Amino acid sequence: MSETEIVHDERTVAVENAGFRFAYQLLALGLLFDVMCRARAQRQANWDLMALVVVSGGAATAYQAARKTLAHRWAQFGAVFLIAAALALAIGWLVTRLRS
């Protein structure tokens, strides 16, 4: 068995970051799927799990903003996020009103 030195270069960092990104996306989608399943099967509100997904995404965005590494289209993403949040609140309010 030969002893070879592992070089930690830009490619290694890029592959590690891609792996972390994939793991985060898988975790976030898994939490969202769990929220959906629990809401359907057990009729529970799972705002704590939803908050984990939102807060972790917000923390990553805040970290990138502090380091000035946000993508050029972050403002467009923010606008889409706000529109989606408003639409989700409106749908939630409407469903609550229709059930009562």
Query: Quick one: 41 and 14 in the same domain?
Result: yes
Query: Quick one: 90 and 45 in the same domain?
Result: no
Instruction: State the residue range of the domain holding 50.
Output: 1-69
Distance CA(18)–CA(21), nearest Å, equals 5
Helix (H) or strand (E) holding 43: none
Distance CA(97)–CA(76), nearest Å, equals 32
In tens, the pLDDT along 45-58 reads 778 777 887 888 88
Query: Quick one: 94 and 60 in the same domain?
Result: no
Query: Quick one: 84 and 97 in the same domain?
Result: yes
8 DSSP 8-state letter: -
Residue predicted with more confidence, 77 or 33: 33
The total number of structural domains in the chain stands at 2
In tens, the pLDDT along 55-76 reads 888 888 788 878 887 777 777 7
Query: Quick one: 32 and 81 in the same domain?
Result: no
Query: Quick one: 36 and 54 in the same domain?
Result: yes
Distance CA(32)–CA(27), nearest Å, equals 9
Q: What is the mean pLDDT of residues 23-34?
A: 87
